[in-house]
Structure formats: C-alpha cells, structure tokens
Copies of this chain bind each other. A is one copy, B any other.
Amino acid sequence: MRAVVYQKPFEVAVEEVADPKIQAPTDALVRITTTCICGSDLHMYEGRTDAEPGIVFGHENMGIIEEVGSGVSTRRKGERVVLPFNVACGFCTNCRSGKSAFCLTVNPPGAGGAYGYVGMGPYMGGQAEYLRVPYADYNCVPLPEGSDHEEDFALLADIFPTGYHATELAGVRPGDTVAVYGAGPVGLMAAYSALLKGASRVFSVDKVPGRLKLAEKIGAEPVDFTAGSPPEQIQDKLGTDGTDRGIDAVGYQATAAAGEEQPALILDQLVDTVRSTGSIGVVGLYLPSDPGAPNKHAAKGELLFRVGRFFEKGQKMGTGQADAKQYAHQLRDLIITGRATPSFVVSQNLSLDEAPDAYRRFDNREDGYSKVLLHP
C-alpha cells in the first residue's frame, strides 16, 4: 500500500510499504478515508526526536473497517469508524479509569501508545491506505454510515478530544470565565469546548491575526499578547482579579512577545491570569528531555516555575495527553446532532500524494495552513 514515510529531517515521501495485516485475534484492519497532519508530527518532521527514517506518520485516522480478527466481538467489516490517537487496551488500571492515554499494556514499560509516533510503541501510522488497529472493540469509535460530517469526525481522533480534555483538566463548568493560551487548532478546540460547556466568557490568547479572528468567530474574545501582558489585558476586560479557569495549549516552546523562547512562560502567565482557588489545565506539551532547550535545566524538563504564587493562590493544575477515547463518543454525538462543528479549523483537504508538499508548507507556517486533512 502507499503511505507517508519519513525520510530525513524536513522530508517525507509517499512510498509503497507492506500492507498491514491482522496480527492478533483482537485486531481490525481499517481502510483510511481521512487522516490529518498534526502539529506534533512536525516534531518528528523537523528531526527533533529520535524518529528513524522509515516510520509511517499519522495518528489522526478514520475510515472503513476492512477486516476483523476472530476475537473481535462488536465491530464488523464495512463499519465507518474513527480511531482515537491513543492505542489502548481498555482493561488495564489506567484504561479502566478512563486514562487511555496512559495505557499500561500497549507500550511497556511506559504508559501510553499511539499510531505512527516515535516512542509510542510499534504501531504504524495512518497516513496510508490501511491501518492495523489493536484491541479493535475498544479502539474503534463507530460512526454513522455514509460520508456526512467526514471532516468533523476526523477531528475526533485527536484535536477535538484534546481541546475538550483541556477543559476537563481545568474543571470548566457552566458560567465560568476561561483563559485559553494558544489559538492553534488545539487551543481553538479548547475554547470551542469551553463554550459548548456553557462558559460565560472565553479569552483566546495568541498573536497570529488569523487565529485570533477564528477565535472571535466562535464566540471567544481575542487577546493579542503582543499588545500587552495577557493577564493584565484579561483582568482589565473582566474587571475582577482573574478567570475561573485557565488552559495551556502552547507548551514548552512558548515565545515571549519579543520572540525569545521561554519554556515556563505560559504556566507563569496562567498563575497570574487565574483567580485564587481557580484551576489550570495543561495540554500543551512539556518534555522531560529537550536537547534543543535554551538552557541545561530546560534540557532536562526542569523549568523555573512560579510555585510560590501558585501555592499562595491555592490553585490546581491537571496535565497530560488527552484520553481521546474517553470523550470521542459524546463529542461524536454532538457532531451528529449538529450541535458541534469543529471542522471550522480545517484549512485543506488533500490527496495522499500532496502530503510532502503539505508538510513543507505547514512546517513553514504558511498562511492558511492550519489543519490539513488527507484522503488516501
């Protein structure tokens, strides 16, 4: 079959690779209809990870079941499904409590697996014609037949649940005021999820005009961080001493208005932005090892963080990759009834052959390349 294969830093190619096969009785094979390029694919693309040439990318996948193993009970050939990016077993301690991003079975001795990602287990990616799906009863989220909402459903594999997860980590409730740092695809999904949950005001912090415009379009209030301190801008708008909740959809590669990298910038700004007793959800990435970090502490994931103020304000913080499976069903139902339309972030629908070019443009942050969908 044909697949997007990593060649070397800044180069992927569409190549023939061996077809995936059912390996265990609990596997399914899925013919991919839509697969997305994710911002986190760029970490590998740019050569800033241990990813070896030959890896097939793609952890945001959906399609049609082509075959199921003899131990699969509830899924059938021909069903349309979306695959949350976390490969997970469904029965370990973490999966049983909904924390499928930290599955203890699929990638030992670590916690958590994924399709097409370095360090996340031996699972081929889905930027390809076919995908092997382990524990298919658990990992396939069934969808209505046909092709309706294809773009929306594709986002159930990762960014919509990840944005929603941020609001869960932050404990967003109806009536809350929420500050979301970052208005890239995940940040926009977080803002969108907060509004779906009944937040009274949502602030989206970014500097890219197109992103801020999109935030405004869905009902959030844009805050341009190049125009002044975001916590101060937000508190001025609020007229109170802080938002109820805060979300980090940026991570360690945060840059200050002047452009220099400041790994703990967003966390520190969130402590300032959120009121005492408020809570913070972090889905932006932080790493325990970052060779390209600005200093030796940051290289080990040790960041200067305003712990004193965080404690004094009695805040809470929840972190970690999204358990996409945990949210995918309920978010799917909101899409089916038309109450959620996350595809507003989609910028391109391309063929698999266009992937190399799309990676290049997306990595260059070309205008208008926010969320690319591939259709093999």
Contacts and interface: CB of A to CB of B under 8 A. Distances in A.
Residues of A contacting B: mostly? loop
B277 A99 contact: yes
A42 B218 CA distance: 43
Contacts of A235: none
A313 interface: yes
Interface stretch (A3-11, A206-214, A295-303, A358-366): A295-303
A287 interface: yes
A307 B320 contact: no
A75 B48 CA distance: 38
A102 interface: yes
Given A302-B307, A309-B301, A330-B200, A89 B73 contact: yes
Closest 10 A/B residue pairs (Cβ): A301-B308, A314-B320, A175-B330, A71-B71, A25-B71, A25-B25, A286-B311, A288-B308, A200-B333, A91-B138
Given A138-B91, A276-B94, A316-B317, A311 B289 contact: no
Interface in A308-326: 308-321, 325-326
Interface residues of A, number: 87
Given A26-B26, A317-B316, A317-B317, A175 B307 contact: no
B175 A329 contact: yes
A297 B301 contact: no
Nearest to A318: B316
B301 A303 contact: no
A234 to B, nearest CB: 14
Contacts of A101: 314
Contact of A197 (B197, B286, B313): B197
A9 B325 CA distance: 47
Contacts of A288: 306, 308-309, 312
B336 A200 contact: yes
28 contacts: A24-B71, A24-B73, A25-B26, A25-B70, A73-B89, A74-B89, A91-B135, A99-B277, A99-B314, A111-B276, A111-B314, A174-B196, A174-B334, A198-B198, A200-B336, A201-B337, A267-B307, A286-B311, A286-B312, A288-B312, A300-B306, A301-B308, A302-B305, A304-B305, A305-B307, A314-B321, A316-B319, A317-B317
Contact of A313 (B71, B264, B267, B320): B320
